[in-house]
Chains A and B, each alone.
Chain A
């Protein structure tokens, strides 16, 4: 039993943190929100150069060929820094689907894997049940589910209608396209398995980002509570404020190992990996929603303004808490397994 990350994994996180501290400041986040794309191609290129974007791309296609335990800390860091680029969608959701299809349908998968590794493409994934596909507004390749099949659709072959969202960098869009055998990656039982794995990876991955977001929001609120004075004292010296923040921090602290465990179980193909992913998402969603509420409340009226940075994280928290199954959805899934509730 050894529940910790290795040196390389920690070092990779430190590199991403150092990068984000310089290249993903709140001012740069605001620029991204206001930009046409919603994120920055140069930053995506720099992340690719660091190996972050192509982390899960197999080495033969130019990536690092690493797994979910290697990526989970980076996702958390992406949440903490508010990174607007669709790292979750590309590296954790899209790439493994393409990599799995590289043998059977190389023409549909391999060029895209190589482009992702070069930082030359953004991939996103959409289910037919989604009202709009996250990141579809600026993605180069859309991996789309249709009638239980999975298809790879270059953006040029689809009609993409942006659906502006509260989070200025999510950039969801409605996608119209024609499924054909030429776009098909998976069908039948195989597609069912790939979709189930996708759901679990997404739950874990979104959970990791949410933990990072929650951590950041609590840190911002704690910093503010130490500076803002009322009644002649910092508001952080009042127990009502302290207890809000302590409760929020506890939920994050106890969500985090569950997210890490889900990453490990998924990467090892553990039989309970799906339950583990659901536990992670249920805990992380609740933790992030509580942290958002707490951060807003601690900031008071300033937190309710566009000018205060808190909302840049808060809005991402709400979006991801609802994405890929909210907390209650995942608890229901756990109940269906553990309690055999139909």
Chain B
């Protein structure tokens, strides 16, 4: 056991830190902060930031060089993420593609698909959204009804997807469609890659709690897609999708730096509030300490898991424990911050936007819902980790 980073990892960290400190959009260098990525202008600005990172080969450090990465290992990825959050860099507008679709493409994609989709994903030229949930299929994902029907040289898609994050402005969608209506629910699904500007695709943006269109409904009316836009084989969509779900719940989407940095900002907020309103802050030290401890526990658990993964082990249903822990931790950190702010917490900024803590709180409320609700995760943990009988 050695919990120190190696000299090479430290050098990598220094290089990332130097580049980020020189390039992250900020008030100080006149290029930031960027507008919300759920507005048209903000989306474009975040896309440009992806491009800037790509050009310096920081957008997808763990990918092979041929697709725009550095071929860096898991630890370097963790180190990069730590520096990314420490630098206060923008939310990754490309994260659905980079963190959810890409691992699936690497596992199931043909060489042609990888060559076609990965580089523009890395550069931000093509931003992806997820098309899984439907109005009548949320937690019960296998109940989806959107159809894929065989036709010459490809498929015709019809139906409706909803809660597609970034869907309002995304270029492509990865989604699940029922290709064999006669098959058992979990079979007969196929995973498709669909351009959002294909004839027959209609996007209806949905305003979220913060008033902005962070997600969308997407309607498919006889949308023709060729065979080479099937990922992982016809009728194998469930298996392919579960690989993506593992990424979403597990290591890749939720780097621990998100929470350790949020906890560090909470500590700063606590100090500020204690100076300005000691009576209000006095009884909240325990909440802040708890947030600091839980964020650290998540980081250590990630290091523990990463050591296993680096040794060739794979992460199974334990990923659901990760999701439960990070989503509850994120919510607790932000709830503690709002309590510290007290009555000021509800106030919007000059542009009528939620300021960072309120914005973060609203976003953290989504955590226990997306990527499989926490109730579903608890079922997975109980059944597949503890071995309890299915209900």
* CA gap between A253 and B271 in the complex, in Å: 31
* A177 interfacial contact with B, CB 8 Å: no
Q: Known contacts A237-B388, A238-B391, A257-B297; decide if A243 and B303 are in contact (CB<8 Å).
A: no
Verify B388–A245 contact, CB threshold 8 A. yes
| A246 CB within 8 Å of chain B | yes
Min distance, Cβ B139 to any Cβ of chain A, angstroms: 12
Contact of B391 among A237, A250, A340 (CB under 8 A): A237
Instruction: Give the interface size class of chain B.
Output: 35 or more
Could you say which residues of chain B place their CB within 8 Å of the CB of A332? Answer: 285-286, 289
Complex CA distance for A226 and B388, rounded to whole angstroms? 6
Which chain A residue has the least Cβ–Cβ distance from B300?
Answer: A257
In angstroms, Cα B271 to Cα A338, docked, is: 10
Q: Contact flags (1/0) for A1-29 with B, using CB distance below 8 Å?
A: 11111100000000000000000000000
Which stretch, B114-122, B186-194, B376-384, touches the partner chain A? B376-384
- The reply to whether the CB of A142 lies closer than 8 angstroms to some CB of chain B is no
CB atoms of A283 and B297 under 8 A apart: yes
A250 touches B2 (CB 8 A): no
On whether the beta carbons of A245 and B386 are closer than 8 Å, the reply is yes
Residues of A within 8 A of B292 (CB): 334, 338
The majority secondary structure among interface residues of chain A is: helix
B294 to A, closest residue via Cβ: A254
- Assess A249 versus B385: contact at CB under 8 Å? Given A242-B378, A254-B297, A260-B1: yes
B106 within 8 A of A: no
Is A290 positioned at the interface, with any CB of B under 8 Å from its CB?
Answer: no
- Quick check: B1 and A6 within 8 Å, CB to CB? yes
How many residues of A sit at the interface, in one of the four size bands?
A: 35 or more
CA distance A239 to B373 in the complex (A): 14
Q: Is the CB of B390 within 8 A of A237?
A: yes
Residues of B within 8 A of A87 (CB): none
Contact B285 A257, beta carbon cutoff 8 Å: no
In the bound complex, residues from chain B placing their C-beta under 8 Å from that of A260 are 1, 300, 304
Q: Which residues of A contact B267 (CB under 8 A)?
A: 338-339
Q: Across the interface, do B285 and A335 meet the contact criterion of CB distance under 8 Å?
A: yes
A341 contacts B by Cβ under 8 Å: yes
- The contact of A249 among B289, B306, B321, by CB within 8 Å, is B321
Pair A328/B286 contact, Cβ less than 8 Å: yes
How many A-B residue pairs have C-beta atoms within 8 angstroms? Tell me.
156
Assess whether A313 is interfacial by the CB under 8 Å rule: no
Contact of A3 with B321 at beta-carbon distance under 8 Å, contacts A237-B390, A242-B378 already known? no
B357 at the interface (CB under 8 A from A): no
User: Looking at the complex, which one of B2, B301, B321, B388 makes contact with A1 (CB distance below 8 Å)?
Assistant: B2
Q: Counting CB contacts under 8 A, is B361 at the interface?
A: no
A288-342: which have CB < 8 Å to B? 328, 331-332, 334-335, 338-341
How many Å lie between the Cα of A335 and that of B375 in the bound state?
Answer: 32
Within 8 A of B (CB), among A205-258: 218, 222, 225-226, 233-234, 236-239, 241-243, 245-247, 249-250, 253-258
A282 contacts partner chain B, Cβ-Cβ < 8 Å: yes
- Candidates B2, B270, B321; contact of A253 at CB < 8 Å: B321
Q: Which chain B residues lie closer than 8 Å to A61 at the CB level?
A: none
Does chain B have a CB within 8 A of A116?
A: no
Check A254–B298 contact: CB distance below 8 A.
yes
CA distance A338 to B307 in the complex (A): 28
Is A57 at the interface (CB under 8 A from chain B)?
Answer: no
Known: A1-B303, A246-B378. A331 touches B286 (CB 8 A): yes
Residues of chain B having any CB pair with chain A under 8 Å:
1-6, 9, 75, 267, 270-271, 274, 285-286, 288-290, 292-294, 296-298, 300-301, 303-304, 306-308, 311, 318, 321, 324-325, 375, 377-379, 381-383, 385-391
Cβ contacts A to B, 29 pairs, < 8 Å: A1-B3, A1-B9, A1-B75, A3-B300, A4-B304, A69-B1, A222-B388, A226-B388, A233-B389, A237-B388, A237-B389, A245-B382, A245-B386, A245-B388, A246-B377, A246-B385, A249-B321, A249-B385, A249-B386, A250-B325, A250-B381, A253-B301, A254-B297, A265-B3, A332-B286, A334-B289, A335-B288, A338-B267, A339-B271
Residues of A within 8 A of B (CB): 1-6, 69, 218, 222, 225-226, 233-234, 236-239, 241-243, 245-247, 249-250, 253-258, 260-261, 264-265, 279, 282-283, 328, 331-332, 334-335, 338-341
In the A-B complex, the 3 residue pairs with the smallest Cβ-Cβ separation, listed nearest first, are A242-B382, A236-B388, A246-B378
